[in-house]
Structure 1
Amino acid sequence: MEKTIQGRNVFSRFFTLLKQSLKGGNIDFTKGSIRRTVILLAIPMMLEMMMESVFALVDLYFVGHLENSSFAVQTVGLTESVLTIIYSIAIGMSMAATAVVARRVGEKYPKAAAKAGMQAIIIAVAITTVIAVLGFIYATDILLIMGSSEASAAYGTNFVRIMMGGSFVIMLLFLFNAIFRGAGNAAIAMKSLWIANICNIILCPIFIKGLGPIPAYGLTGAAIATTLGRGIGVCYQLYNLFNGKGVLKVALSYFIPDWEQIKSIVKIAVPGVLQFVIASCSWIFLAQLVATTGGDEGSAGYQSALRIMMFFLLPAWGLSNAAATLVGQNLGAKAIDRAEKSVFVTAKYNVIYMASITGITFLAADPIMWFFTNNTHVHDIATQAIKILCCGYVFYGLGMVIMNAFNGAGDTKTPTYINFFGFWLFQIPLAYVLVKGFDLGPLGVFIAIPVSETAITATSVIIFRKGKWKKTKV
């Protein structure tokens, strides 16, 4: 009887914590139980990142059942690979925004935090505008460079134009959410992605298949729906920024360029952007290697597997974002030991999550892929890729937390160096040797990914333990 009562009490406390995390609000994460603060941040952050991955899965599901499904799936996958450059810039800028906002919030300077966040937005919009224009103009060339056939490139050009042309929406969605996370209100970030995804799920079949006066745009409709969905999510973020109810009170004057502030943010952001551009370009190289050795169907299978992998990895990335916020805020509050302990607690939870996901994806790879494609060859390649990639999931999870701990402290240089050596001097050469030297084709790429990620994680842990990140000034 006593055990039953204790069980109910535990469930009741967890349910109360769950409600609080989803509701959000102004919480001081520099005090109280570390496990509680990690959970309060992690739940909405995991759900937020899960929603980000749903964008690609929704597109993959609908276009995977079009008449030219191999062309369509390949186009979505290759475009996502190119968009990772946008994601890299967005994440790099987001890391700078989170680090600065979290540090100022920890120091109890909310006005400085709000102004820093808006200055980061000015920088990001300027950069993304240039990329969006170039992406729109050279859409066909981008697909051809990525290894697509001429027929597939012609088929997917409009899709790429819309996705690249609307990339500033992706940037704003990432950056606004980073500002909310840095301020400790991860619930708003989560809700904006939920709203954007619900809109995408509703709009995708309408624009792809047509409804009433809206014609069937096919593959192009997926791009229209996704861009509109993300745009609606950004509108929700803007409402919450300017309603004056959160920790951050934003004024229009904060959007006037402050060159000293901009230089400070750029100093943190540039290594952060390079950190992810290095990784993204590595993934682009691997995608091109698979496309040229495995053909359109081999490429479609690989891209499908990556979309499934990212669906499960992005929640882990969301959980690891809790470490960035906690490290930033606690360093700002001069609670260095608490910052370090927060990383260890977050890492433990992420390893448990990724270990569970490893078993699920390995056992369920076959039925999962039949849901997303009716092409037998694409299905078989994707299933093989998923079973190999998931062998490194636990190491991915641990590595994400350590990397985000560095970034949350404002030490974006260390992860950049680790990524450069890990991806460009190890992963790419290893993949090339396996694919070309041992004639393994796409299988060589599948093997190289978990092997290199494991090495990167081991290196990150060793450097983190040395503790130089604790002395970073922001």
Structure 2
Amino acid sequence: MAGGLDIDRLRNGPILSTLLRLSVPNVIAMVVTVMVGIAETFYVGRLGTTPLAALGLVFPFAILTSTMSAGAMGGGVSSAIARAFGASDAARARTLALHSILIGVSMGVVYSLLFLGFGPLLYRALGGHGAVLDEAVHYSTVLFSGALLVWTSNTLASVLRGTGNMRVPSTGIVGIGVLQTLLGGLFAFGAGPIPGLGMVGVALGHVLAHVAGVAFFAWCLTGGRARLTLAFERFQVRRELLSDILRVGALACLSPVQTVLTMLVFTALVARLGEVALAGYSIGQRLEFLVTTISFGVGVASVPMVGMAIGAGDVARARRVAWTAALVAGAVTAAIGLLVAVFPDLWARMFSRDEAVLDVARQYLRIGGPAFAVMCAGLTLYFSSQGAGRMLGPVMAGTMRLAVAGLAGLWLASRGAPAWQYFVLAAVAMITYGLSMAAAVRFTSWQPAGGTGPGAALTGGAAPGSALSGGPAPAAPSAANPGVRRGG
């Protein structure tokens, strides 16, 4: 199956054009994902105010499922596999893929058990009660019963991305999104012999779409249809390979948690000002969420390029890829942010005609819009840091943003601050994150342990083919190397 750029181009080709070719499919897939969320919100809104309020309780944790499995742990998976390909160690890449699946399945089971067991307590702590709480529990029970499928699907997609293949994972994500939208509407409202299940039907559509996603990605990774072919024969769990993935992915999982907490902090602060302020802020927050998908698309594309450069010992190229990706994401989102800062009604009037709500939305867009570029450039550097296997700095940058939002927010709340001051704080927190990420990349050594050269990034200096490297002596990717295809 075609779908990935040549390894030589990923390791040695022109940076900007290669990055753009990898980014476009990802951005399209992320936009489709956002549209699915809008469609599901529309469905639930038609069911009534109570289901819509229940969705608000569950939504942050549903988003967390995707961001942790695809962006955080998924980045750790892609990084480890890309570094193996960069060192021409195909056997190690193939074995890392199997360990990735083990991690994804395990995390999916834990995530399901966590939210099935403690979900009702979390929703109650967020203010859910009565009929709203009941709806939230019914919806989340079905939704998080399928967490294993979401984790497995995103893990398999990340394995493909680690090989430099962006088109096939993006095609799968678009297919999942379309199927999820169709099935969610069908099961929510019913048609013919199929009864309407309400919110539970929306969740059921989500689960069944990911069943199809797992099947599609598994098919791509078996039978020689991708650059890396899964082979489960004689598979043995190896601690050093689990560590290669988890030392990036596990630490990276803190970042989406920080992002969700920051969202909750600002939502709680603005909610104190009343329904109008919260509605106006939510309009602006939707755009903030949408522009971050651009960072995700560009950032995920940078992971295999950075990882392969690190695996090959070319740290200078890895850094050039990272800064180029940040500039691309920053330039695109700067244009969007400045546009809505000057003409906020282009976005705000899509969601409301209430002038009071629009006034608040305009305030947020005029203040926060110009800061989008700095935040999105920083988020792209977060993904590039995954490719380099260096995550402490990015986690510290997220901590800085959360601390600024929480501490300054409490101070503003004690003073009875108006909405525009909270929006200034939101912009300051975005800029803090972006600048902190830039500093983390600038001052963190990306030099592989044990020096430069193929294999150093993977094993702390052990050459591929040693007992530590996890595979035979390196061989150029070719048809002669089992499990690897040159152009797949």
CA distance in 2, matches of 1:81, 1:315: 20
Bigger CA drift: 53-62 or 356-365?
356-365
**Which aligned pairs between 1:4-403 and structure 2 lie closer than 5 A?**
23-24=3-4, 26-28=6-8, 29-68=10-49, 71-90=50-69, 91-253=71-233, 256-290=236-270, 293=272, 305-359=284-338, 361=340, 362-370=344-352, 385=364, 388-403=367-382
Q: Where in structure 1 are there 5+ consecutive unaligned residues?
A: 1-19
Cα drift, residue 195 of structure 1: 0.6
Cα drift, residue 116 of structure 1: 0.8
CA distance in 1, matches of 2:280, 2:121: 22
Contact 2:405 2:429 in 1 (8 A): yes
> Superposition RMSD on alpha carbons, in Å?
2.9
Q: Which residue of 1 aligns with 2:389?
A: 410
CA distance in 2, matches of 1:190, 1:457: 27
CA distance in 2, matches of 1:228, 1:308: 28
Cα drift, residue 298 of structure 1: 6.4
CA distance in 2, matches of 1:265, 1:379: 46
More helix by share: 1
Q: Where in structure 2 are there 5+ consecutive unaligned residues?
A: 450-456, 459-488
Cα drift, residue 96 of structure 1: 1.4
SS of the aligned residue for 2:308 comes to: helix
Cα drift, residue 65 of structure 1: 3.1
| TM-score normalized with structure 2 length | 0.82
Cα drift, residue 142 of structure 1: 2.3
Q: Which residue of 2 aligns with 1:421?
A: 400
1:393-428 alpha-carbon deviations (Å, 9 max, x no partner): 1112211122222211000111112222331x2121
Contact 1:163 1:223 in 2 (8 A): yes
1:194-220 alpha-carbon deviations (Å, 9 max, x no partner): 110110221222112211111122222
Bigger CA drift: 462-471 or 218-227?
462-471
SS of the aligned residue for 1:207 comes to: helix
Percent identical among aligned pairs is 20
Contact 1:149 1:296 in 2 (8 A): no
CA distance in 2, matches of 1:417, 1:260: 25
Change in CA separation of 1:129 and 1:444 when aligned onto 2, cut-off 3 Å: farther
In the alignment of these two chains, the number of paired residues is: 446
CA distance in 2, matches of 1:381, 1:147: 24
Change in CA separation of 1:133 and 1:290 when aligned onto 2, cut-off 3 Å: farther
| TM-score normalized with structure 1 length | 0.85
Change in CA separation of 1:76 and 1:405 when aligned onto 2, cut-off 3 Å: same
Contact 1:60 1:73 in 2 (8 A): yes
Cα drift, residue 289 of structure 1: 4.5
Change in CA separation of 1:347 and 1:421 when aligned onto 2, cut-off 3 Å: closer
SS of the aligned residue for 1:108 comes to: coil
Contact 2:303 2:384 in 1 (8 A): yes
